[in-house]
Amino acid sequence: MTLLPFTHRLLSVLALAVAASAAHAQSYCERQAFDPELPVGLDGKYEVVGKAARTGKPYAGRLSVALGKDSYILRRTVGGRQVRGEGWIELCSPDRFMVLRVQYQTPRPEAGTFICYLRTGGDFDYRVSCTDFDGKALEAWFQRP
């Protein structure tokens, strides 16, 4: 019976910690002002392969990334169907590492949101790996010359 007050206090502290971490999570990544030179050469044409979140089925297609007024403009074509999207750079964590946040225009916006990690090859061509928040949807982009 003496554990009941202790358990109640422990749950209260745990609830406060979860609330504090949720408030901190919103500021984990910060959108940056659009700079077409950072990262340089991201715009262009890509081959894309992925795995759909709902079905788990693989897909392949093409993607174009263009410079917009205040973000990157994306057009992904898979199976003859084109989906438009938008991308922007965010700096995340106290280390401020760079990611590309992508939002495709889908009926369910959360289904089209990806965080993408940028890598370059020996010829400075981009190889981009993306995942959704659940880790169920995946995409990989390979820049074409």
The model's pLDDT over 18-53, given as tens digits with 9 standing for 90+, comes to 344 434 445 689 999 999 988 999 999 999 999 998
Per-residue pLDDT at 15: 41
Per-residue pLDDT at 22: 39
What is the average pLDDT across 47-67? 95
Handedness of CA 67, 72, 78, 83 (dihedral sign): negative
What domains lie within the chain, and their CATH numbers?
Answer: 31-143 (2.40.128)
